[in-house]
Chain A
Amino acid sequence: MAHDSHDSHEYIPEIAVDRNGKEHVVQGWQGDFEGAKLGFWLFMLTEVLMFGAMFMTLSYYFTLHHAEFIKASSELDRVLGGVNTVVLLISALTMGLGLLKMRSGDVKGAKLMIWATILLALIFLGVKALEWSNDYKEGIFLGLSTMQAGGGKSFGELLFFGMYFTMTGLHGFHIIIGIGLMLWLLKRINSGKVSPEHHILHFNIALYWDLVHLIWVFVFPYFYMTGAGGAIHG
């Protein structure tokens, strides 16, 4: 964490001396890059567990209603889903290159790359919105009468679409949070709090973005590709 110079809790380097007179550097909590990285990874594990629990729910119902899940999956728009996959893939690249630029001292280039990532994230959300509105027109949306019990859909389809909206929705929510984080990062870069020497925030937000991508890597095949190719026995 970067501080202004007159901040009262600055780190004063300290040495502990053992009985043989050997000196050992004491790690302080201030400016601990490895600690901050470890902390953020631990946070990401909680995200993994969250989505893991949802995937477990999904697998549970997939086991119960195999054929119906495949039927429901084949109704999703694979083209839009595929476009979003590629968009997110490229955004992971721009994010990574931005971090690389930051570390190599090119702050301006880094900012450009973050803006590019934000743009791609917005495209992702736009495509998602288009997709959801298409679903809505086809009578697939939470709360519609066609999505109620006895509304003409089987258990498997209802559960599939219920989880589809939940998981893509929560994933989209993570994208929105990511955009917010990137805007905050830009602000911190502009005020000089994130710099090539103190880039832990940039590092961690890049990790976050990769995690969001990682989740999509599993969300996409599970929902969109399960019913591809017309296979009924998956």
Chain B
Amino acid sequence: MSKSYFDETHCAFGHPKSTFMQWMLTIDHKRIGIMYAVVMFTFFFVAVAAALTMRFELYAPGQQFIEAHVFNQAFTLHGVIMIFLFIIPGIPAVFGNIVMPLMIGAKDVSFPRLNWFTFWLYILGCIIALSSLFNFNIADGKLVFNFADTGWTFYAPYSLNTDTNVVTTLVAAFILGMASILTGLNFLVTIHRLRAPGMDFFKMPLFVWGIYATAWIQLLATPVVGITLVLALLEKYFGIGIFDPAKGGDPVLFQHLFWIYSHPAVYLMILPAFGIMSEIIPAFSRREIFGYRTIALSSASIAGIGYLVWGHHLFTSGMSDVAKTIFSFLTFFVAIPTGIKFYDWIATMYKGKIVLATPMLWALGTIITFAIGGLSGVTIAMIGSDIHLQDTYYTIAHFHYAMLGGVVFLFFAGIHYWFPLVFGKMYNETKAKAAFYILFVGFNLLWFPMFIAGYLGMPRRYFDYLPEFQIYHQISFWGAIIFVIGLVFMFYTLIQGIRKGKPSGVNPWNATTLEWHLPSSPPPLENHTKVPYVDFRPYEYHHGQPVVKFDENMKRID
């Protein structure tokens, strides 16, 4: 049996002897994906800590633990880390790297050295983003942090006037954006050039479709925010005037430019997550996916329409009524391909032999949470109700139901699904399922009260609130505690799985896609022994069993 990628690697340059340096210099897509995962989840917990701090503060009206401006920095820290460091690289950087080349039968991504460089660019961005956390001074015997307090959106003109250290955060967001662009570029070329012979676009697994659509967004939307941040920096330090009302500049233009990227960015987050869902549902229903083409094309059309809806973030910012109407109309359109996906998944499960393994539980849970998140999104796509609900907890709850209950839940689903592929071992399923239930309960307890509080008028980003909102904040608080306990328990279970898990074999889930037909688990350095000829659809099941089988040289033997 060949050695796994834990034993061997290719390096960007040189032939280092030490394992540590081999990891640092590796160009192997699986190792890079794992390193992304480690770094991202470390920061994830930092951001969770920031959020928990805010929940503690909001347990009762008035000031409890932190001061008002620290609260502003806390939500900025939470937003910046979660958005730029965690969820934007997110699923593409981890599973796009680890799984996508395996799924299309490639030896690696198209530009492995660029992939390595991108990873380090990402690390550089992380360091710059958090460097201002350590930029503090002591005034009147108190610690004063200089971390940005603008929120992750850096709206002009406040971001241009604030004394806090917004420059490092802007530079970091720019660098992380570049890393994101290069990842997308790499994946696009990989998917176009390195598919196994015979695999046309409609024989690709749906996760690859998700990554493909995502990569286009990364490529064509990120530059806009990149240049916006550059313009903001030039405005701040050279006074070019375009965002400065004193010189005739329009701060709303900043919002336009910012959301031209940042709205497609949420589709950038959710599309690969939908891809994971499309992998898990057929694998655990033991049924060929219903409406393969509609799911694939709906990914593409969500990406396409997603470019054209940014204006719904500006309904209250000062836009013409004509533009508002156009944006509201276009926003409704996004719901159509999303709905198609949901019905396809449910139709796939119909009459399937459903196996309630942990990944499937996560996927099913997400169907509930994301349905709430998605449908509440439609309600705030309406101009009238948006005027009422914008900048309230309602929007916050919608966002977190869609992002945490959609993207991150599916990310967790993917982790549980591909865990045996990456480590060759299995976690304890009973514990992992328990972790799911804890997280699911905690999640709903945490976010659902915010819909009500927001509807009743609780504004977001506020440090203080009226006493009548206290009950919602307290339910949320206990939800948050349960949620964090669930998180810790889940990661504990997974780490125990890495350390002591039983060997899983190469295809523990009876799944059909190519990444489950590797010679060993964990996979060897250059993946498949031989590249197969792909003349089959990705999810072929017959009477609950995979149709396509390979011999050790990747020749079909069914």
Which chain A residues have a beta carbon within 8 Å of chain B's beta carbons? 1, 8-9, 14, 16-19, 24-29, 32, 34-36, 38-39, 42-43, 45-47, 49-54, 56-57, 60-61, 64-65, 142-143, 147-150, 154-156, 158-159, 162-163, 165-166, 170
Question: In the complex, A29→B110 CA distance in Å?
Answer: 5
Q: Which B residues are CB-close (under 8 A) to A28?
A: 107, 194
Q: Which A residues are CB-close (under 8 A) to B27?
A: 9
Flag if B247 contacts A39 (CB, 8 Å). no
What are 11 A-B pairs at a CB distance below 8 A? A8-B10, A8-B15, A16-B196, A25-B197, A29-B108, A38-B192, A43-B181, A46-B220, A52-B224, A162-B240, A162-B241
Flag if B109 contacts A158 (CB, 8 Å). no
Question: In the complex, A64→B245 CA distance in Å?
Answer: 14
Flag if A39 contacts B189 (CB, 8 Å). yes
Flag if B192 contacts A147 (CB, 8 Å). no
Write the nearest CB–CB distance from B235 to chain A, whole angstroms: 8
Q: Which B residues are CB-close (under 8 A) to A150?
A: 246
Partner of B192 from A26, A35, A56, A162 at Cβ < 8 Å: A35
Q: Which B residues are CB-close (under 8 A) to A45?
A: 219-220
Question: In the complex, A122→B107 CA distance in Å?
Answer: 43
Chain B CB count within 10 A is highest, among A9, A61, A147, A150, for A9
Q: Which A residues are CB-close (under 8 A) to B260?
A: 53
Q: Which B residues are CB-close (under 8 A) to A35?
A: 110, 189, 192-194
Question: In the complex, A14→B193 CA distance in Å?
Answer: 15
Question: In the complex, A209→B372 CA distance in Å?
Answer: 50
Flag if B113 contacts A1 (CB, 8 Å). yes
Q: Which B residues are CB-close (under 8 A) to A39?
A: 110-111, 185-186, 188-189
Select the stretch in B37-45, B144-152, B225-233, B448-456 that faces chain A: B225-233
- Give the interface size bracket for B toward A: 35 or more
Question: What residue in chain A is nearest B108 (Cβ atoms)?
Answer: A29
The 7 closest A-B pairs by CB, nearest first: A155-B248, A24-B197, A162-B240, A149-B246, A49-B223, A18-B533, A35-B193
Question: In the complex, A39→B239 CA distance in Å?
Answer: 36
Indicate whether A14 sits within 8 Å of B530 (C-beta atoms), given known contacts A45-B219, A143-B239, A147-B239.
Answer: yes
Question: In the complex, A166→B193 CA distance in Å?
Answer: 37
Question: In the complex, A56→B189 CA distance in Å?
Answer: 29
Of residues 43 to 101 in B, which have CB atoms within 8 Å of A's CB atoms? none
Which chain B residues have a beta carbon within 8 Å of chain A's beta carbons? 10, 15, 27, 106-113, 181, 185-186, 188-190, 192-194, 196-198, 219-224, 226-228, 230-231, 234, 238-242, 244, 246-250, 253, 257, 260, 530-533, 535, 554-556
Flag if A19 contacts B535 (CB, 8 Å). yes
Q: A32-B193, A53-B223 are in contact. List 19 more A-B contacts (CB 8 A).
A: A16-B196, A18-B535, A19-B533, A29-B111, A39-B189, A42-B185, A42-B219, A46-B220, A46-B222, A57-B231, A57-B253, A61-B242, A65-B248, A142-B238, A148-B247, A158-B247, A159-B241, A162-B247, A163-B240
Question: What residue in chain A is nearest B260 (Cβ atoms)?
Answer: A53
Question: In the complex, A209→B107 CA distance in Å?
Answer: 32
Partner of B193 from A16, A18, A25, A27 at Cβ < 8 Å: A27
Flag if A149 contacts B247 (CB, 8 Å). yes
Question: In the complex, A26→B106 CA distance in Å?
Answer: 9
Chain B CB count within 10 A is highest, among A29, A43, A156, A166, for A29
Question: In the complex, A113→B106 CA distance in Å?
Answer: 39
Indicate whether A9 sits within 8 Å of B194 (C-beta atoms), given known contacts A159-B249, A163-B240.
Answer: no
Partner of A16 from B108, B197, B231, B257 at Cβ < 8 Å: B197
Indicate whether A49 sits within 8 Å of B242 (C-beta atoms), given known contacts A26-B197, A29-B108, A57-B253.
Answer: no
Question: In the complex, A49→B177 CA distance in Å?
Answer: 13
Partner of B224 from A32, A38, A50 at Cβ < 8 Å: A50
Question: In the complex, A221→B246 CA distance in Å?
Answer: 28
Chain B CB count within 10 A is highest, among A1, A45, A49, A155, for A49
Flag if B227 contacts A165 (CB, 8 Å). no
